C-alpha cells in the first residue's frame, strides 16, 4: 500500500489553473506540473501528493513522467492510503450501481475516471471479468486490483487485457493473460433478447461492446419483420438484437473473420441462424457492392471504429463519417431507417450529426432524427471530462 508519509510531492506551476482540479477535473498535463529532476526521475505509476503553487494540498495522484497526462487524480484526500482496501471501496461502489441497473451480471463494472479508477476498465461477464489497466499506476497495482475485484464481486476468472492505444500512450507493453480461473472458449452473453459470444482472450477490446446496449435495443424496434444491414458489425451487436426483436433477416458486414464467426455462433445460440448471414469485406467496399447489386434494407446500422480518436484526426474523421452516411443512405429502402454511430470523443455530437446529415443529403435523401443515444448507464460520464462521454448514436428515418 502507498502510505502518505512515503510519498513524493509534486507541485503545479505558478500559472497552472488549480480551479478545474478542485472542481473535479481528473488530469494534470505535463506543461502544468513542475518537472524538475526529481519529478522526472519518478517511476511511471508512482503515487504522489499533489499541491498547488502555494503548497496547498490538492489530492493524491498517480504520476507518469513519460505521459502527456503526467498526473491522474486518485483521491481528493491528500492523505488517502492507496491499496487493496481503497480499491475495494471503489469497486464496491461501482458494483452497487450495476447491480441496481442490471438483472444479470453482464456489464461494464468500472468505467475508468468516471468510477474513480483512472485508466482502469473492467468488464464483467458473469463469473468472469476482464481488466484493462490502461494507466501506469494500475499496471503497478494490478495484483491488488485483481485481488480486490475477486473479493468484492466473487468472480472466478480474471483476464488481463493489456492492449490498445491508451497503454501505448502510457509507455506500457502489450500483454494479455489469464490471471485466475479457467476459460473454455467464448463466453455466452445474454443481452437485448439475444445471446452474444464474447472471446475474452482474443477478441477486440474486452470481447464485447456493452456500451451500445440501449442503442441496439432502440434500433431493434425499427425493423420488425424487416431486412437489416449491420455494417462494422463486430460480433453482430445490432443484427442479433434486431433478429431477437422480430426482424425477418439480417446481414452482418465486417472485415474480421473471427468476429463474424462469433456472430454466427451468437445467431445459432439465439436460435436465429436461419435468418442471419455474414459478409467478410471492407465496410466501404461492401456498401458500394450492395448498392451496385440494388440491395435495399429496412434498417441500416453503421457502427465504425473511431475515425477521430484525437483533435488532429478530427477533420479527416468527419469526412469519413460523412462518407459512411452517404454510402449507407443509398441502401435504405424508402421510408426506412439509418442508424449511424461514433465512438470518437474528438467528434462531438453536433459535428458528428452534421457530418452524417451531409452524407445523407449527398446521397439525395432527406431524413428526420428520431433518436439520439449514448452509452448505457454502466458507462457513466464524468461531467468534468468530455472524453468519458465518447459514444453517440443517431437514428434517422429517411424520406421515400
- Which residues are annotated as catalytic? 343
Strands 9-11 and 57-63: unpaired
How many whole angstroms separate alpha carbon 217 and alpha carbon 135? 32
Q: How many helices (H) does the chain have, and how many strands (E)?
A: 12, 19
- Strand ranges for the chain from DSSP E: 9-11, 27-29, 46-51, 57-63, 69-75, 106-111, 120-125, 128-133, 157-162, 175-180, 187-191, 194-198, 227-231, 249-254, 276-280, 297-302, 332-342, 367-373, 392-398
User: Are the beta carbons of 344 and 317 closer than 8 angstroms?
Assistant: yes
Query: φ, ψ for residue 17 (rounded to 5)?
Result: -90, 115
Q: Quick one: DSSP state of residue 398?
A: E
Count CA atoms within 13 Å of residue 31 on its CB side. 0
How many whole angstroms separate alpha carbon 186 and alpha carbon 289? 32
- Helix residue spans in 330-383 (DSSP H): 349-362
Query: φ, ψ for residue 56 (rounded to 5)?
Result: -85, 140
Type and span of the H or E element at 150: helix 142-153
State the sign of the Cα–Cα–Cα–Cα dihedral 92, 95, 100, 104. negative
Amino acid at each position: 500500500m502507498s502510505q502518505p508519509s512515503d510519498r513524493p510531492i509534486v507541485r503545479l506551476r505558478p500559472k497552472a489553473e488549480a480551479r478545474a482540479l478542485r472542481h473535479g477535473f481528473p488530469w494534470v498535463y505535463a506543461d502544468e506540473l513542475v518537472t524538475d529532476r526529481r519529478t522526472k526521475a519518478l517511476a511511471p505509476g508512482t503515487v504522489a501528493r499533489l499541491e498547488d503553487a502555494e503548497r496547498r494540498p490538492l489530492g493524491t495522484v498517480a504520476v507518469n513522467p513519460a505521459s502527456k497526462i503526467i498526473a491522474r487524480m486518485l483521491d481528493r484526500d491528500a492523505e488517502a492510503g492507496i491499496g487493496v482496501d481503497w480499491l475495494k471501496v471503489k469497486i464496491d461502489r461501482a458494483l452497487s450501481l450495476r447491480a441496481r441497473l442490471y438483472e444479470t451480471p453482464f456489464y461494464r463494472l468500472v468505467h475508468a475516471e468516471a468510477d474513480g479508477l483512472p485508466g482502469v476498465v473492467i468488464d464483467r461477464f458473469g463469473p468472469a471479468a476482464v481488466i484493462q489497466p490502461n494507466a501506469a499506476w494500475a499496471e503497478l497495482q494490478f495484483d491488488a486490483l485483481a485481488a480486490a475485484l475477486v473479493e468484492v464481486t466473487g468472480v472466478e476468472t480474471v483476464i488481463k487485457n493489456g492492449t490498445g492505444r491508451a497503454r501505448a500512450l502510457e509507455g506500457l507493453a502489450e500483454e494479455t493473460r489469464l490471471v485466475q480461473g479457467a476459460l473454455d472458449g467464448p463466453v455466452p452473453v445474454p443481452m437485448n433478447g439475444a445471446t452474444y459470444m464474447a472471446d475474452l482472450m482474443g477478441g477486440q477490446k474486452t470481447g464485447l461492446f456493452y456500451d451500445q446496449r440501449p442503442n441496439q435495443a432502440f434500433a431493434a424496434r425499427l425493423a420488425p419483420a424487416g431486412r437489416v444491414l449491420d455494417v462494422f458489425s463486430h460480433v453482430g451487436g445490432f443484427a442479433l438484437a434486431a433478429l431477437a426483436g422480430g426482424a425477418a433477416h439480417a446481414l452482418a458486414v465486417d472485415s474480421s473473420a473471427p468476429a463474424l464467426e462469433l456472430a454466427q455462433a451468437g445467431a445459432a445460440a439465439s436460435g436465429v441462424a436461419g435468418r442471419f448471414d455474414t459478409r467478410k469485406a471492407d465496410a466501404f467496399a461492401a456498401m458500394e457492392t450492395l448498392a451496385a447489386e440494388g440491395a435495399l434494407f429496412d434498417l441500416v446500422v453503421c457502427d465504425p471504429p473511431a475515425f477521430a480518436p484525437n483533435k488532429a484526426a478530427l477533420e479527416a474523421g468527419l469526412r469519413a463519417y460523412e462518407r459512411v452516411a452517404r454510402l449507407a443512405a443509398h441502401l435504405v429502402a424508402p421510408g426506412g431507417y439509418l442508424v449511424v454511430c461514433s465512438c470518437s470523443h474528438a467528434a462531438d455530437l453536433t459535428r458528428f450529426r452534421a457530418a452524417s446529415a451531409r452524407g445523407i443529403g449527398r446521397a439525395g435523401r432527406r431524413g428526420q432524427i428520431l433518436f439520439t443515444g449514448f452509452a448505457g448507464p454502466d458507462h457513466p460520464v464524468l461531467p468534468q471530462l468530455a472524453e468519458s462521454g465518447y459514444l453517440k448514436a443517431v437514428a434517422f428515418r429517411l424520406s421515400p
